[in-house]
Amino acid sequence: MPPSNKVEREAIFSRAINSLYVLSEDYDITVVGMEEYLNYKSINYEYYHKLNLHYLTPNFIDYNDPEVNAFISAYRKKFLTEPNQFSYRGYDVAKYFLEAYRTNGRSYLNKISSLQINTLQSNFKMKRIKEFSGFLNRSLFVVNFTPEYDMKAVSTISD
């Protein structure tokens, strides 16, 4: 029977990660998991790096990207605070759809599946679910906690 609540899941995962961490002294281990693991307070991030954790996420901010750093600087100057996930999301959604409209006019929805627009934290690959329905973003980043203590998007997945 699967664990029923977050505390129980975290306790089970923590025991497993601790065991894998010990084994990583003798074996090359890669853990493929969920973004939820990052919310577990009882696990040291060093373990994720040592275990080469990979997980899927719809959003990833690359702080080495000059456009991200320009956004952060402008945001700090304008609002006197740090941007949060909603700051990035709002910027990305506005940029994506406004650029789609600017380049394609009122028929932008007919071309939205093929658009390539750079955003800060999202990789939009819109796909219509059913005829006459709305669209769903079908793109995810594969993020890796590297053994060199870096965190990077190593690829994207979309259909």
The pLDDT of residue 158 = 84
Residue at 71: amino acid letter: F
The residue among 73 and 159 whose pLDDT is bigger is: 73
**Are the C-beta atoms of 31 and 47 separated by less than 8 Å?**
no
Q: What is the pLDDT of residues 39-84, one digit of tens each?
A: 999 999 999 999 999 999 999 999 999 999 999 999 999 999 999 9
Backbone conformation region of residue 135, classed left if phi is above 0, alpha if psi is from -120 to 50, else beta:
beta
Q: Whole-model pTM?
A: 0.82
**Are the C-beta atoms of 127 and 138 separated by less than 8 Å?**
yes
CA–CA distance, 128 with 135 (Å, rounded to integer)? 4
Phi then psi for 129, rounded to 5 degrees? -75, -50
Q: What is the pLDDT of residues 95-109, one digit of tens each?
A: 999 999 999 999 888
The pLDDT of residue 128 = 85
The pLDDT of residue 110 = 84
pLDDT category of residue 2 using cuts at 50, 70 and 90: low
Q: What is the pLDDT of residues 91-140, one digit of tens each?
A: 999 999 999 999 999 988 888 888 889 999 999 998 888 887 888 888 99
The pLDDT of residue 116 = 87
